Amino acid sequence: MDHEVDSKTPGLSAEEEREIDENQPPRAAVLHETLRMQGDHELERSVAALWWSALAAGLTMGLSLMAMGLLNSRLEGIPGSHVISSLGYSAGFLAVILARQQLFTENTITAVLPVMSKLNLANIGRLLRLWGVVLTGNLVGTLTVAYVMLNLPIFDTSTDKAFLEIGHKVMENDMAQMFSKGIVSGWMISTMVWMIASMENAKIAIIVLITYLMALG
């Protein structure tokens, strides 16, 4: 105790010491409990609440395709344009996370933590219910927005072509590549969620950094 007192910078007021304590990064145990409580809250939500939030997230993720397609079409023929257009991938994630909508890939850690903390059939059932509803809602939302973007006269021909090229590029991966990239992407999303809980003030920068790296890969 005496050593702790001696190691403090002399001349600090009580208010300054309190400000220093408040600016300390949270301990790992605190982060774990914060995410566990968030996950437990998500597991307790009703099916209807999960469904509409997941559907909204699926629709909102269309912003990623829209931004990438628009950037690709406007930067066509420019060397290294992929490096710039990949930034568009962050648009959907920014909107979904800031709006607190239900995205399946974001539930890889928050929903699992309370289940792993208290592993039983009831919690496993709650987790499977959450995943099933959220995944279905996301897929319906993304299919809807993809259909609207390609079949309604919203964008010019070059942008519609860019949308298709983006989709074809993803589907060129074989099953092993998709599975491997899915593991890496899941790990990156989990890392992003953990980082956001640790540095809430840098949330936007964290989301852009992680999702941009995913798009480049």
- pLDDT digit string, tens, across residues 99-119: 989 988 877 778 888 888 888
pLDDT, mean of residues 26-41: 78
Say what the pLDDT of residue 10 is: 60
pLDDT, mean of residues 80-92: 92
Question: Domain 27-216 - what CATH class?
Answer: mainly alpha
The better pLDDT of the pair 22, 148 is held by 148
pTM (2 decimals)?
Answer: 0.81
Q: pLDDT at residue 13 above 70?
A: no
Residue 202 token pair:
């840098």
Residue 121 token pair:
């059939």
Q: What residue type is assigned to position 123 of the chain?
A: N
Non-local (6+) Cβ contacts of 196 within 8 A are 97, 203, 206, 207
Three-state secondary structure string covering 132-165:
HHHHHHHHHHHHHHHHHHHHCCCCCHHHHHHHHH
Distance between CA 217 and CA 215 in Å, rounded?
5
Q: What residue type is assigned to position 150 of the chain?
A: L
Q: Which of 41-45, 116-120, 167-171, 205-209 has the highest mean pLDDT?
A: 205-209
Q: Give CA separation, 90 vs 2, 98, 105, 125, 138, in Å.
A: 50, 12, 14, 32, 17
Say what the pLDDT of residue 107 is: 72
Q: How many residues does the chain have?
A: 217
Dihedral sign, Cα of residue 178, residue 183, residue 186, residue 188: negative
pLDDT, mean of residues 5-20: 60
Q: pLDDT at residue 90 above 70?
A: yes
* Domain assignments of the chain as residue spans, ordered by start: 27-216
pLDDT tens by residue, 191-210? 998 888 888 889 999 999 99
Query: Is the separation of the CB atoms in 137 and 104 below 8 Å?
Result: no
The alpha carbon torsion through 122, 126, 127, 133 (nearest 10 deg) reads 150
Residue 59 token pair:
């629709």
Residue 161 token pair:
């072509």
Mean pLDDT computed over every residue of the chain? 86
Residue bearing tokens 């403090």: 8
